[in-house]
Structure 1
Amino acid sequence: MKKYTFYISIVGLLIAASAVLSCSNKKNDRGGRTDTPTSGTITFYADESFSPIIEEERKQFEYTYPKAHLKAVYTDQNTCMNQLMALKTCLLITSRDLTKGESAMFSTKQTKAVSFPIGYDGVALIVNRNNTDTLITEAAARKIFSGEVTKWNQIYKHSSLGDIEVVFDNRASGTLFWVEDSLLGGKHITQKNIVAAKSSRGVIDYVKRTPNAIGVVGSNWISDTRDSTNLTFLKDITVMSVSTQDEATKSNSFKPYQYYLLNGYYPFCRTIYCIVVDPFRALPWSFSNYITGPIGQLIILKSGILPYRGDIQVRQVNIKQ
């Protein structure tokens, strides 16, 4: 059993800090902003693939602090990053940390960006319920994404499903970027069998009605919210089990359950970050600290994502199919 210790953020310190810091390093010059750590209105950006969990965090934060109003814009990763770099938002939630060059750019604007890891998301591969091939090796998945493999019978000789349709949310998404960066070594996906479904929900719906499709989504989209144990996925699609071995078997292949993310058995795992650019240390900082604090991390735990901090207890359970 592994345990992680929560770090409790103290809003009082944020209030004190916000009184002495300003965006232009001049007293009482906040560019029109009036928010404090517990009140006011801000707009922040987040990768659409994390919208279910971030919406829950936002609602609970506003319930705790009724005078605080958080307006969320859920969009693709490129748009999120562009808004942050242009200082059009003070808070971004995404699956990519800033590069050294991007961090350095903020210093030229007399401000600083700070990133907080908040959790680990399993990148899930999903197929149609009628597809009986549910085990896949990491190597085979890479070949599908690179375009080296384009037909199901190139992996499963008995398959009659024909061409493989690879479904992402959109071509500027954080999920697609993660596959290109982490699985393909930075190589861009350019093959013609890629489908952009416009959203994570769209990926699931496309796979549900397309027998030869394989979809790529964050694990928080496929968890069955009716199961408080986070041990079941949606019933209308099949989540593939992934193996790091040369041949995928039931004993060496794993789904993106939190336990398999924790011990590294499931290979397709990405870190989720809060990136804050707010010298005032006001509402953006407070919300980020809330997400990394005990309540925020508990919300992440219940969503099916592995929290960055928390008291993780592993128990043996029996699952009835």
Structure 2
Amino acid sequence: MKMKPVFYVCCLVFLFACKGKRKDSAAGQETRTSGSMKILVDESVAPIVQQQIDIFSLDYPNAHIIPVVRPEEKLLPAFLNDTIRVIVLPRLLTKEEEKYYQQRNIRINSSRFAVDGIALITNKDNTDSTITVKELVDALQGKASNKKFVFDNVYSSTFQYLKTLAKVSQLPASGVFAKENSDQVIHLVSKNKDYIGILGVNWLSDRNLKMKDALSTVKLMGVKNFPGKVGDDQFYKPTQNNLISGNYPLLRNVNIIDCEGTDGLGTGFAVWLRSQRGQLVVLKSNLAPHKMMPRVLNYEK
């Protein structure tokens, strides 16, 4: 008989716990570490973002982030039309693009979490392994060149970056071509030593297992900047050290831009990207992290 009150109390506690759990589940409230959302991801930096999502999901199993990967110009309509409010770009929004959210009094939170480089690759059988930024710009401006260049996509952020650099609005009539994605660029260069491929350096990682054989037949080119610019003293490859030091001429920041207007999963993922764990993922991907994390050494007595 003495056990009955204890039994009833335990039952009540269990019922209230279950009720509270059902209520939270039904509400489906999104937090910094739980919920489901889509994010827009520029194709040229898709590998590093997917790696980050994979590790974030391991840390927070109740968080489900679905990347929508497309070239930059194909992403922006969905972002500016308020279809998806979180985007990863290797640049910041322009003043005109910011107006779409400012007019609705929605705060724009932009965070850099990595430094990327635009890589130039050539076939390993090509004896020429260096190029200047001036040579690249001249070709984009339609000036005579004995080199042929191929981009990842005519709508890509890579092409937008170099169009701005060369101050042109479109591809020249000859000498510069575009494929549909970065893997196609790697495949073309691996089979043809007459082309120089232009793509985000993240696609050249050994994690790109699908292109392992093709990657074994291409090499990075050294790039020298315009006189008077950083990186004008020698030819630099987009190695991690040169991205970190800033010596590689064709650098760009990778940013997550969150316009959710709430302290939800987008905010949580953005904060995590700049955390020690997120920055270690960047470091292992051979890109440059937003900031170098201090090493903690444990000494056993």
User: What TM-score bracket applies, with the shorter chain setting the length?
Assistant: 0.7 to 0.9
Q: In the alignment, which residue of structure 2 is the partner of 1:176?
A: 159
1:81 aligned residue: 76
Equivalent residues, number: 259
Tell which has more relative contact order, 1 or 2 (C-alpha 8 A, sep 6+).
1
Distance of 1:107 and 1:33 partners within structure 2: 28
The answer for the alignment partner of 2:222 in structure 1 is 241
Query: 95-104 vs 60-69, which deviates more?
Result: 95-104
Distance 2:247 2:117 in 1: 11
2:39 aligned partner: 44
Q: CA RMSD in A?
A: 2.2
- Quick one: which amino acid aligns to residue 277 of structure 2? I
Match in the other structure for 1:301 = 283
Alignment-mate amino acid for residue 72 of structure 2: Q
Determine whether 1:121 maps to 2:108.
no
Cα deviation for residue 309 of structure 1 reads: 1.7
User: Please, which moves more after superposition, 185-194 or 62-71?
Assistant: 185-194
Task: Please tell me whether residue 208 in structure 1 is matched to residue 203 in structure 2.
Answer: no
Residues 245, 252 of structure 1: 8 Å contact kept: no
Give the deviation of 1:58 after TM superposition: 0.4
Q: d(CA) in 1 for partners of 2:184 and 2:294?
A: 32
How far does residue 147 in structure 1 lie from its aligned partner after superposition? 2.0
* Residue segments in structure 2 that go unaligned for 5+ positions in a row: 1-26, 209-213, 228-232, 296-301
Amino acid at match of 2:264: A
Which of the numbers 255, 258, 265 marks the counterpart of 2:247?
Answer: 265
| Distance (whole Å) between structure 2 residues aligned to residue 264 and residue 301 of structure 1 | 15
Distance 1:141 1:190 in 2: 12
CA contact (8 A) 1:118 1:308 kept: yes
Decide which structure has the larger Cα Rg and report it.
2
Q: Is 1:280 the equivalent of 2:262?
A: yes
User: Aligned-pair distance for 1:191?
Assistant: 2.6
Check the 8 A contact 1:49/1:217 in 2, yes or no: yes
Seen in structure 2, the aligned counterparts of structure 1 residues 280 and 33 have a Cα distance that, compared at 3 Å, is farther
- Superposed, 1:37-76 pairs within 5 Å as 37-76=32-71
| More displaced stretch, 184-193 vs 117-126 | 184-193
CA distance in 1, matches of 2:257, 2:168: 23
Partners of 1:266 and 1:132 lie apart in 2 by 21
Q: 1:191 aligns with which of 144, 166, 173?
A: 173
Q: Alpha-carbon deviations, 1:128-161, whole Å to 9, x = none? A: 1221100111211211222213324xxxxxxxxx
- What is the letter of the counterpart of residue 308 of structure 1? H
Looking at structure 2, the residues matched to 190 and 141 of structure 1 have their Cα atoms a distance apart, in angstroms, of 12
Shift of 1:84: 1.2
Query: In the aligned structure 2, how far is the partner of 1:58 from the partner of 1:275?
Result: 15
Distance in 1 (CA, whole Å) between partners of 2:143 and 2:294 is 39
Matches of 2:28 and 2:187, distance apart in 1? 41
Matching residue's letter, 2:138: K
Unaligned ranges ≥5, structure 1 = 1-31, 153-163, 227-232, 314-321
Per the alignment, residue 167 of structure 1 pairs with 150
Cα distance between partner residues in 2 of 1:312 and 1:134 = 35
Q: Return the offset for 1:62.
A: 0.8
Output the amino acid matched with 2:275.
Answer: G
Identity of aligned residues (%): 28
Report which of the two has the higher share of helix.
2
Q: 1:143-154 residue pairs with structure 2 within 5 A?
A: 143-152=138-147
* Distance (Å, rounded) in 2 between the aligned partners of 1:245 and 1:175: 19
Of 75, 93, 102 in structure 2, the residue corresponding to residue 98 of structure 1 is: 93
CA distance in 2 between counterparts of 1:88 and 1:207 reads 37
Query: For 2:207 and 2:40, how far apart are their aligned partners in 1?
Result: 24
